[in-house]
C-alpha cells in the first residue's frame, strides 16, 4: 500500500503536466524544472497553457522524469491510475493515466512514511473485499484468514 500512496503525487503531477502543456514546442527547461521542484516540495506546480501534441508531451515527460530521477533514483516500473470511470470523472480525466515508479518509491511491507506525502494526498485501492465473518479478526495466519 505504501508504494501506491507514494506514487500518487507523481501520477497527479504527470497527469497535470502532459495535457496542459499548450501548443508550444517542448517546454523550456525552466518550466519543467519548476514543475519538478513543485513535486519535491509538495506544492502545486506552475501550470502550462492548455493543449499539447503527443510529441511535446513526450519531450516534457522525458525532461521531468530525468529531473526526478536525480533524487528518486532509477526507474523501477510503471503504474496505471484512474482506471475506474468514477475516479476519472472525479478528477476530470477522460482516460486512465500512467506513471513511472522509481526504486525509492517501492517500500518494504511495514514501512512508515510521512502523512504529508503530496500536494493532494489521495490513493486508489487496487483490490477491496468485504469479509462477512467477524472471526477473520482473530486469524493469526493466512490459512486461518482464508477459512
What is the secondary structure of 3-18 as a DSSP string?
Answer: HHHHHHHHHHHHHHHT
Looking at the structure of the chain, the number of domains it has is 1
pLDDT digits (tens, 9 = 90+) for 111-132: 887 777 776 666 656 566 788 8
pLDDT digits (tens, 9 = 90+) for 42-68: 888 887 767 767 788 889 899 999 999
- Does residue 24 surpass a pLDDT of 70? no
- Which of 4, 1, 6 has its CA nearest to residue 118? 6
- Which of 128, 144, 124 has its CA nearest to residue 7? 124
Q: Give the SS3 label for residue 99.
A: strand
Rounded CA gap, 90 and 108, in Å? 30
pLDDT at site 123: 61
- Which of 124, 117, 121, 119 has its CA nearest to residue 87? 124
In sequence order, the 6+-apart residues with CB closer than 8 A to the CB of 120 are 9, 12
Asked if 128 and 101 count as a contact pair (C-beta separation under 8 A), the reply is no
Query: Which residues, listed in sequence order, are joined to residue 79 by a DSSP beta bridge?
Result: 99
pLDDT range class, residue 36, cuts 50, 70, 90: very high
pTM of the model: 0.60
User: Which residues span the domain enclosing 83?
Assistant: 2-146
Q: Which three cell numbers stand for residue 25?
A: 514546442
pLDDT at site 51: 72
- The 10 Å Cβ neighbour count of residue 44 is 12
Rounded CA gap, 147 and 144, in Å? 5
Average pLDDT over residues 36-41: 93
pLDDT digits (tens, 9 = 90+) for 68-105: 999 999 999 998 888 889 889 988 889 998 889 999 98
Amino acid at each position: 500500500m505504501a508504494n501506491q500512496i507514494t506514487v500518487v503525487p507523481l501520477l497527479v503531477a504527470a497527469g497535470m503536466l502532459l495535457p496542459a502543456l499548450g501548443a508550444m514546442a517542448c517546454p523550456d527547461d525552466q518550466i519543467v524544472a519548476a514543475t519538478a521542484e513543485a513535486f519535491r516540495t509538495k506544492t502545486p506546480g506552475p501550470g502550462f497553457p492548455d493543449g499539447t501534441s503527443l510529441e511535446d508531451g513526450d519531450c516534457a515527460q522525458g525532461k521531468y522524469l530525468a529531473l526526478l530521477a536525480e533524487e528518486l533514483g532509477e526507474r523501477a516500473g510503471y503504474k496505471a491510475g484512474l482506471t475506474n470511470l468514477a475516479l476519472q470523472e472525479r478528477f476530470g480525466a477522460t482516460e486512465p493515466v500512467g506513471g513511472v515508479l522509481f526504486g525509492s518509491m517501492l517500500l518494504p511491507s511495514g514501512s512508515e512514511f510521512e502523512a504529508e506525502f503530496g500536494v493532494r494526498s489521495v490513493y486508489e485501492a487496487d483490490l477491496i473485499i468485504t469479509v462477512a465473518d467477524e472471526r477473520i479478526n482473530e486469524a493469526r495466519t493466512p490459512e486461518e484468514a482464508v477459512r
